[in-house]
Amino acid sequence: MNFKGVPESEDTLLFGIPEAKPPLSEQTIRDMKLVDDPVIYLKPRTDGQQYKGTILHVDKEQGYCVQLSGKHSLFVHSLDKLERTPEVGESLKLSYPHEEGQKATLSIQETQSQTRTRGRK
């Protein structure tokens, strides 16, 4: 009991400990309505894999970002596995190293409007 006569556990819930957020789920990502009919990868492979696409969502509090690759594939990356926190709208290639413990590198990808084409003269 504390000084107010409230059991300590109830006092903690009432006065200051924030509620824990539910764990990240496919439904959480689906409810964001980032794309129609998404295929969601909550735990993409990180053993030397590369992922290319646009960052659609970043949640620094929960520690993840969502990357669109293709028209419907959403990859959820853990921010603590990346060398930096990406920005929404960035078109990136995320490259995970083969070695454990190293962070994935992020490199800017040119969009089609930025890419030069060779025309015939």
Domain membership of residue 71 (yes or no) is yes
The confidence score (pLDDT) of residue 110 equals 78
Give the model's pLDDT for residue 23. Answer: 77
Q: Is residue 101 part of a domain?
A: yes
The answer to whether position 82 is within a domain reads yes
Q: Examine residue 41 and state whether it is found in any structural domain, yes or no.
A: yes
Is position 2 within any domain?
no
Give the CATH number, domain containing residue 79: 2.40.50
In a domain, 59, yes or no: yes
CA distances to 15, 90, 117 from 112, rounded to whole Å, are 53, 14, 9
pLDDT of residue 4: 47
Q: How many separate domains does the chain show?
A: 1
Q: Each residue of 95-118: pLDDT tens digit?
A: 999 988 899 999 998 765 544 555
Q: What amino acid occupies position 6? A: V
- What pLDDT score was predicted for residue 101? 86
What are the tens digits of pLDDT across the range 51-86? Answer: 999 999 999 999 999 999 999 999 999 999 999 999
Residue 87 inside a domain? The answer is yes
Per-residue model confidence (pLDDT) at position 2? 46
Asked if residue 93 belongs to a domain, the reply is yes
Give the separation between CA 66 and CA 40, rounded to whole angstroms. 9
Boundaries of domain holding 55: 22-108
Q: Quote the mean pLDDT of the chain.
A: 83
- Kindly state the DSSP code that residue 32 receives in the 8-state scheme: T
Full-model pTM: 0.74
